[in-house]
Structure 1
Amino acid sequence: MKKVIRTPDFPIVRTKQGKLHGYQEDDVFHFYGIRYGRAERFQLPEPEPKWDGIRDAKSYGYICPLMPEEEQPEDSPMSAPGNSFEMQHVYWPMKEQCLYLNVWTKHLEKSAKKPVMVWLHGGGFSCGSSIEIPAYNGHNLCDYGDVVIVNLNHRLNCLGFLDLSSFGENYKYSGCAGMADVVLTLQWVKENIEVFGGDPDNVTVAGQSGGGGKAAILMQMPPADGLYHKVISQSGALRDRSGTSITEEKRHWQSLGEKTAEILGLTKENIETIDAVPYEELAKAAVQAGKILGFPGGMMLFEPSPAEGFYEGLASIVGFREETKHIPVMAGTVLGEFAFMHYLGDKTRYTEVDKYNILEQNYGKNTMSIIKQFRELYPRMDILYALSVDTLFRPQTTAFLDRRSEFTKAKCYNYMMNVIIPYLGGLAPWHCADIPYVFRNVEMEPAHCTGYQYAEKLQDQISKAWIAFMKKGNPSTRSLKWSPYTKEHPDRMIFAEECGMEERDDSRLLKLISESCKKKY
């Protein structure tokens, strides 16, 4: 890094819109709370206008208002406070005008041309923010990998995804407004990231859970074409809707908007007054509408709705536009996801009979078959962890990669994080557990680093793979050679105490568990 003279005005960058004043910590420059756009309720966003003078960029911007807390069960891993130790959450001031982003970089010269990762937060399409999980902080990954990290806030829930298009042209894009915010961020990156040392022609879009879904959905959005070059989806595969037409998918989401308006007493004649309905009243009406229509609840209530020429929907299965054939994709899951919470303590205190009885309480007549399959797939793992095998994200991810690898000209890569984290006698990795390792922030998460002697080594291996993928679209490193995934050869990288490639078909185990425990999630 070249020598610089530090003054009270350092560091300052000049974006297309105006000057920003960030701060430096060690070798990393931080620019927080950069406003990238503005949006009227239910409308497409507009780029932030140019400004005079210098704007402060040292603290985070507003986040999108969250859904009413009472709609989340008290024991939900995503509730506040709920069970948040394993998945720590940070909350921040909320406003509907929430289009802000943050940047971490080691360079302020256009000539640096460093790889860029745009990170999309989780929380489905209903909740979350760019700072909700402490491990989202980009400082360590930026510093270690010499890459530029960008993350963002955008509109969520009814503000970003309530489809009111059946009420007229003015609401044509209301059902995918939140994804339009993500596209606007990518346009901002294209225009401005060079002044932060980034390469606008080497942008990876990555995210976990809902963020992983958003990353994949961008491949169904023509306005995003050319604004990103690689995709990483962590525990974010979307449901297969190949048997549903675009028209059916559109009507599905329009029905939620129509029922919400009905609850609010609105019709086509006075629908414009919905713009002034207080957010909490609007959100409660949308939740009530979802219940009446039988939609999934909580953070699963919303998804983007198709809009002609803007978002092509999921009916053709995400990621299957000709314009995306050149995009390398990495997708994976963790062993436990939302099924990890089986606090059984020290597994050595149970006899084999005890373990069988515990498993039988969950899996009934299929218990022996499940134990047999589990031992074949995970020979070093205690059979009690068969309780924690994810049957939601893993099958969806496999199905996505099977079709994507047959369709695309670019490579696909698959991973699974199987390491047992020694917290509370040993737990399977849970939903969000891979995030601290990607961002090199394991020390921020006590549940990961307490008593776990392999944490730093695993952090090195995972973060290096992500950095390699950002740089060249291939996650192979010196220590881990990563072969592509195909339907014929479903190779996956296993992240555990000993990492390496394996080719194993786990579909029978997943089917047995799903059939035996239908209410697992």
Structure 2
Amino acid sequence: MRRSTLMLAILLATTAASAQMPPKVNPVTVQSAAGTLQGDDQDDVLVFRGVPYAAPPIGPLRWSAPRPVAAWKGVRTAVAHEPPCPQPVMPDFTSANPGGVNGAQSEDCLYLEVYAPEAVKKAPVLVWFHGGAFFLGAGHLPSYEGRANARQGVITVDVNYRLGALANFNHPALDRGPGPHGNYALQDAVAALRWVRDNITAFGGDPDNVTVAGQSAGGGIVTGLLSLPAAKGLFGKAIIQSGALLRPDITPEESTEKTLAGLKDIDVGPDATPESLRQISAQTFVGTPSLMRGTFFVKDSAYKPVSTIEALTAGTETDVPLLIGSNSGEGGFAAARRFAEMAGDQGAPAWLYRFAHTPAWRAPEWKAGPIHSAELMFTFDTIDQSSWGGDRADATDRTLARVMNGCWTAFVRMAPGSRRLRCGNGFEWKPYGKAGEVAEFRSTGPVIIDARALPDGPPK
């Protein structure tokens, strides 16, 4: 190759590389309990990614309660997300799995993201738990970005929690000694809330004004927190989107039976030791159909003595204001309506919603109405970040997104003890009561109608 040709090739390669470089970071530092974090000031929104809230659950800490983060010296950069928790992904990494994730994963995954308005004090906090059927998903996905929330004065904390068999797993070799055993995803959620309690003041947040929120499996996490003694006092409000999982917990024996049956598929017998179980690769767990999903929440007399449906029936749930609902193109509205009725029958009120807007570009696909997860880019006002939105959105979509994001953040900002929720340019969102009040978010905006006349999902 002649020298001129070589120089041209180097120049072209350098130019291409520089064009792909990430944007310049505007560093901002915060002093957390474990050490100094350096994030990114993005147009007056402070963004911290890949913030550890618990020690990596690897090696001997696999299937153990989350441990505190080890302190570090110097400044820890927190401008890029860490790999999500192990889960099945497409082998070529070019397309996302149903939980929105592609690329590498790691058992070292107990991280969170923080989006905070600049120069705030005692700002309300939204702690978000992602969906994904308890074995998919991640907290860093673009639909959950908290920039719009920050412009409304709300700090957003997006949380990763353990998934599948690495989150819900009971085995005779592991279920010995001090507990709790199983329910590791719920234990992670509590660890994240404790991190918020101990650290959010440094970001300008109010640890006494925390709302837990989640969608689908994340809504199931929130459902579980509402009856979990370890979570008591760590939050004051709750949001459940398409995740009203009102079902009994399974017994440890049922969880163990399912675990042992799945292990047979990888030639592991019931006499396995803790050490041998922890040597099984994470990829083996997420790639084995009988193991990848783990088991559901497990009854534990010391840690999780009752399910939330049992607590609601007995009136012993954590009594906090609740915002709950689902989308008109999916099932689950009847469960959300029942949840609102049971949670709001005395004490703190419940607000019920139904999302009934189908974007014009989705009409050919969503013929029965907005499907599962369709509301996320509206409640977070992340149309431009979501893979479901972008340039295809029109003025109707964007207006409704601003209205819904305003209503959700108004709930997060709501004063403790309030029974009045006003949002969306004066919309009065009435709590669920004897008239069956539900806020239906239509293309033209929200209206209050009677939930009792609405079907559970799409018309049959």
| TM-score normalised by length of structure 1 | 0.74
1:433 to 344, 349, 374: 374
CA deviation after TM superposition for structure 1 residue 255, in Å: 1.6
Moved more, 163-172 or 212-221: 163-172
2:70 to 49, 58, 70: 49
Structure 2 CA distance for partners of 1:171 and 1:210, relative to 1, 3 Å: farther
Where do 1:177-326 residues align within 5 Å? 177-241=184-248, 249-263=251-265, 264-268=267-271, 270-285=273-288, 287-288=289-290, 302-314=295-307, 316-317=309-310, 324-326=317-319
Structure 2 CA distance for partners of 1:62 and 1:444, relative to 1, 3 Å: closer
Structure 2 CA distance for partners of 1:54 and 1:511, relative to 1, 3 Å: closer
1:30 aligned residue:
47
User: CA offsets, 1:111-169, max 9 Å, x none?
Assistant: x100000011010211100123x211112221x20111101111110001112257532
Q: Distance in 2 between matches of 1:436 and 1:505?
A: 27
CA deviation after TM superposition for structure 1 residue 206, in Å: 0.7
Q: Distance in 1 between matches of 2:169 and 2:90?
A: 19
Q: Distance in 1 between matches of 2:97 and 2:195?
A: 36
2:431 aligned residue:
484
Letter aligned with residue 31 of structure 1: F
Q: Distance in 2 between matches of 1:273 and 1:83?
A: 29
Structure 2 CA distance for partners of 1:422 and 1:123, relative to 1, 3 Å: same
Structure 2 CA distance for partners of 1:26 and 1:451, relative to 1, 3 Å: closer
Structure 2 CA distance for partners of 1:425 and 1:510, relative to 1, 3 Å: closer
- Report if the CA contact (8 A) 1:325-1:410 is conserved: no
1:117 to 99, 112, 126: 126
- Report if the CA contact (8 A) 1:12-1:21 is conserved: yes
1:95 aligned residue:
106
2:14 aligned residue:
none
1:153 to 160, 166, 172: 160
User: CA offsets, 1:440-483, max 9 Å, x none?
Assistant: 11223475462533112211211111111101165422521011
Is the partner of 2:413 in helix, strand or coil?
A: helix
User: CA offsets, 1:363-405, max 9 Å, x none?
Assistant: xxxxxxxxxxxxxxxxxxxxxxxxxxx3x31122122222222
Letter aligned with residue 459 of structure 1: A
Q: Distance in 1 between matches of 2:173 and 2:298?
A: 12
Structure 2 CA distance for partners of 1:27 and 1:319, relative to 1, 3 Å: farther
2:136 aligned residue:
127
More helix by share: 1
Q: Distance in 2 between matches of 1:333 and 1:219?
A: 19
Q: Percent identity?
A: 24
Q: Distance in 1 between matches of 2:319 and 2:54?
A: 29
Equivalent pairs counted in the alignment come to 421
Structure 1 gap ranges (5+): 1-7, 71-78, 290-297, 337-389, 517-521
- Report if the CA contact (8 A) 2:89-2:96 is conserved: no
Matched, 1:458 2:400: yes
Moved more, 47-56 or 496-505: 496-505
2:17 aligned residue:
none
Letter aligned with residue 430 of structure 1: I
Q: Distance in 2 between matches of 1:481 and 1:231?
A: 19
- Report if the CA contact (8 A) 1:163-1:257 is conserved: yes
2:439 to 484, 487, 493: 493
Letter aligned with residue 415 of structure 1: Y
User: CA offsets, 1:48-72, max 9 Å, x none?
Assistant: 01111111111111210103669xx
Matched, 1:395 2:334: yes
Q: Distance in 2 between matches of 1:281 and 1:328?
A: 41
Q: Distance in 2 between matches of 1:269 and 1:433?
A: 43
Q: Distance in 2 between matches of 1:456 and 1:420?
A: 12
Q: Distance in 1 between matches of 2:262 and 2:211?
A: 36
Q: Distance in 1 between matches of 2:183 and 2:314?
A: 18
2:320 to 304, 315, 327: 327
User: CA offsets, 1:251-277, max 9 Å, x none?
Assistant: 332221232344442334635410111
Is the partner of 1:202 in helix, strand or coil?
A: strand
- Report if the CA contact (8 A) 2:88-2:97 is conserved: no
